[in-house]
Structure 1
């Protein structure tokens, strides 16, 4: 009887161990030419908020991971290349490729990894496709694979990360995805952002705001009554913003006596002294303001500012006339304004 009981408990223990193993992920890879290196694995959304290290020896690496559900992660290589990897419990993930083509790995083991591998292989066959051709490929992929987690990665890479993303186009693509994908943290954030940006889209009325300038004086829209107002969002810590300041200096120099146009800077700085020093160094003579709240500033949120540099053109009636205009577009707009004034 004791032997039977012992056998019974051994079977239970073995079963429990096997059950535990099904919750784990077996990850094996061979990337020729990688040699001895380290790959970092980190989560690309809140569902996987840790980082793991993969040790590569003689081009090969192997590890066991555990996750509770299907998650999006990123492989980060020592040369800075990032590549998406989708993990789910019980799967055996196999990674193959070459160190010379880290942006085109072959990953198998579950549907989203295979989907993305197939997509990238198709892209290789296109040579150097145009931006429009890439977008069409992504649209077709999303339509044919509405529930694939690879959709989120492709949507973000080819549509969301553009300097001026087409919100309507992004919204149409998300409508083709299944509800499960829309419930994921990234998609919830993206859809909320689209909703916020639609409120301040071109043609909409600009929100009222009040913000203090370098002298501590409150500045608001009514201070630029009867003028077209170009608001420039920047920060002393943002390199590209600082480079763009040269463009705004040229515009200000040409238009500082234009009674129908005004320029205003809104900084996303946190430190007053660094902000004022940047204003001085970059010779920003037009109205400069700051809330010292970074991305959490009220005005940045009102105008749904998520990247720097950014700019918004507001008409005398308070309508948003343009967003993220380059120098030529601004000059064209100023010529249009001048024509309108002559016709009055």
Structure 2
């Protein structure tokens, strides 16, 4: 009898070992109004270097995934919306929300997902917050959560990707994070990007470049030293930057005879024929240059271009004067340039009379 009890206990122990906790990640979601669709999940850095497909049927989807450690991934919707999703081995991730509010999904399953959900719910409660209010919220979170992966995501979204990044503020917030967080590939990539951005920040000397225009003639930075130069980065394959060409057409029409200002389109196209056909189709009459290297082009790297469209204004003395100007800001700057030149002419006339 005693032996039977021992055998029974042994069998229970073996059964428990056989049912040990799995490292697999289970993910399930329901997003009202999504219907039947396909979502994509990809890694934010090399710690999750693959893409998974999530098939949605009647608003619901599920998947079994794997990850060796806590990673940041991006859930990509068909309308282009991207939402961060944090995964770790053994997690049971649940996603709920509405297709009408993809920016505030409710996700649980681990601490980072819960933290980001709470943060986005706070933002939702603000109504329509200003950029300053959003930055303050993100900054407070980063300071209060120096070891959270969410802090890296918020640093990227609200500060690194800002139209005019505040490099010093970004460095200050990055310094608040723990060493373990700084060692992660995602953070290292952000810090490298910040370093590159700092080299071409407003006020810094513009890098020297050499490119060929649509006529095959060589164009260099030094050939534009007597003018303000507005470099407009675009590509025929990028819908948004092509839409922005309408603004530059208006500017060129007004300023094509302005000897103190030059507009130049810098394309990230790979195919010369497509590039030239788009120039003609979109009526881009100002000077166009391209090295057909896409994101790997030398000028793209020199100016640390991260997105399209992007524009950079360079002064006659070779300094970067401004970045990502909208039409109103460009018109304001052109007015200032004209007033500055009129003032110089007046000063010269007065000096001559003396």
Common fold: TM-score over 0.5: yes
Instruction: Give matches, 1:41-120, under 5 Å.
Output: 41-54=41-54, 63-76=63-76, 82-97=82-97, 101-120=101-120
**Is there any run of 5+ residues in structure 2 with no aligned partner, and where?**
345-354
Instruction: Give matches, 1:1-344, under 5 Å.
Output: 15=17, 17-18=18-19, 21-29=21-29, 40-54=40-54, 63-76=63-76, 82-97=82-97, 101-344=101-344
Aligned-partner SS, 1:248: helix
Alpha-carbon distance in 1 for matches of 2:178, 2:266 = 39
Aligned-partner SS, 1:128: coil
Q: 1:93 Cα deviation (Å)?
A: 3.3
- Residue 350 of structure 2 is matched in structure 1 by none
Q: 1:158 Cα deviation (Å)?
A: 2.9
Aligned-partner SS, 1:216: coil
Change over 3 Å in CA distance of 1:9–1:53 after alignment to 2: farther
Q: 1:146 Cα deviation (Å)?
A: 0.9
Alpha-carbon distance in 2 for matches of 1:254, 1:59 = 51
The two structures, once aligned, show a CA RMSD in angstroms of 3.2
Alpha-carbon distance in 1 for matches of 2:277, 2:160 = 33
Q: How many positions carry a matched residue from both structures? A: 339
Segment drifting more, 101-110 vs 253-262:
101-110
Alpha-carbon distance in 1 for matches of 2:73, 2:177 = 20
- Residue 347 of structure 2 is matched in structure 1 by none
Alpha-carbon distance in 1 for matches of 2:11, 2:167 = 59
Alpha-carbon distance in 2 for matches of 1:307, 1:79 = 18
Segment drifting more, 259-268 vs 286-295:
259-268
Aligned-partner SS, 2:104: coil
Segment drifting more, 134-143 vs 52-61:
52-61
Q: 1:299 Cα deviation (Å)?
A: 1.1
Deviations 1:285-333 (A, max 9, x none): 3322110111111111111111122222222211111212222222222
Change over 3 Å in CA distance of 1:65–1:270 after alignment to 2: closer
Alpha-carbon distance in 2 for matches of 1:310, 1:108 = 37
Change over 3 Å in CA distance of 1:254–1:150 after alignment to 2: same
Alpha-carbon distance in 2 for matches of 1:30, 1:281 = 44
Alpha-carbon distance in 2 for matches of 1:59, 1:246 = 39
Aligned-partner SS, 2:140: helix
Q: 1:108 Cα deviation (Å)?
A: 2.7
Change over 3 Å in CA distance of 1:109–1:263 after alignment to 2: closer
Change over 3 Å in CA distance of 1:219–1:42 after alignment to 2: closer
Q: 1:55 Cα deviation (Å)?
A: 5.9
Change over 3 Å in CA distance of 1:59–1:229 after alignment to 2: closer
Segment drifting more, 126-135 vs 263-272:
126-135
Change over 3 Å in CA distance of 1:343–1:59 after alignment to 2: closer
